[in-house]
Amino acid sequence: MRKNRSNKRFIYLISPKYIKNNDFYDKLNQVLSSNKVSFFQLRLKKEKKKKKIIIAKKIKKICKKYKVKLIINDDPIFAKKINADGCHLGQKDMNILKARKILKNKIIGITCHNSITLAKRAILDGADYLAFGAFYSSKTKKVRYKARLRILSLAKEITNTRVVAIGGIKDTNYKKLLLNKANFLAISDYIWNNKKLNPREAISKLV
């Protein structure tokens, strides 16, 4: 069975919950140099705004170096402030139509959990990608919505909008998601909090 992937840069990398020291930027450089990452989402829900701006500017430079799109989680206004490439919105975040007025033609992705109904709404509203999951148990966030592999192919039947799979993805399960037509795999814990592998080694396992 062949992999359904012409895109070598299939990883949608999500930041760790906290970025405490400069070691992170060295690790990010190493991971992005693998040429497997298309998007990097900055997800710092508990960081103070001033510190978040400093962190975002450093990450933006690294992302630009490796031609990776910088996406900001939850906050279109912050995304505009730092001139990020786009924003990711959950179902309880700002409405996509309002966010579009702020971000214009920048990337806006929408969380669709395990729902084709939510996906159809996001498509009608002009989302640039649809995020489904969680497909597997995750340490990054509590799993409230469990998605089945079938939803990926169902989504592909109704739209050409890019599909991102999320939730507990690692080297032992990622191929199933690609075989089921996910365009990108959102990964965080496997890269940043892997007890057996450092970030560079972890991403090298995803081929």
> What is the share, in percent, of the chain residues with pLDDT greater than 70?
95
Total number of domains in the chain: 1
Question: Residue 186 belongs to a domain with what CATH number?
Answer: 3.20.20.70
Taking residue 97's Cβ as centre, other Cβ atoms within 10 Å add up to: 10
Task: Look at residue 5 in the predicted model and tell me its pLDDT.
Answer: 52
Q: What is the mean pLDDT of residues 139-164?
A: 89
- Residue 112 sits at φ, ψ, to 5 deg, of -120, 5
Query: Is 202 within 8 Å of 191 (Cβ atoms)?
Result: yes
Residue 43 domain flag = yes
- The pLDDT of residue 92 is above 70: yes
State how far the Cα of 192 lies from the Cα of 30, in Å rounded to an integer: 12
Task: Look at residue 2 in the predicted model and tell me its pLDDT.
Answer: 42
Residue 141 domain flag = yes
Residue tagged 């002009």 (tokens) = 126
Residue 140 domain flag = yes
Range of the domain at 44: 11-204
Task: Look at residue 141 in the predicted model and tell me its pLDDT.
Answer: 62
Residue 5 domain flag = no
Query: Would residue 104 be called left, alpha or beta, if left means φ above 0 and alpha means ψ between -120 and 50 degrees?
Result: left
Query: Is 53 within 8 Å of 86 (Cβ atoms)?
Result: no
- The pLDDT of residue 142 is above 80: no
Residue 4 domain flag = no
Q: What is the mean pLDDT of residues 177-187?
A: 97
Q: At a CB cut-off of 8 Å and minimum separation 6, what does 165 contact?
A: 131, 132, 133, 135, 147, 152, 177, 182, 184, 185, 186
- The pLDDT of residue 176 is above 80: yes
Q: What is the mean pLDDT of residues 192-201?
A: 97
Residue 36 domain flag = yes
Reported confidence tier of residue 11, pLDDT bands at 50, 70, 90: very high
Residue 96 domain flag = yes
State how far the Cα of 85 lies from the Cα of 62, in Å rounded to an integer: 13
Task: Look at residue 140 in the predicted model and tell me its pLDDT.
Answer: 60
Q: DSSP assignment, residue 168?
A: S
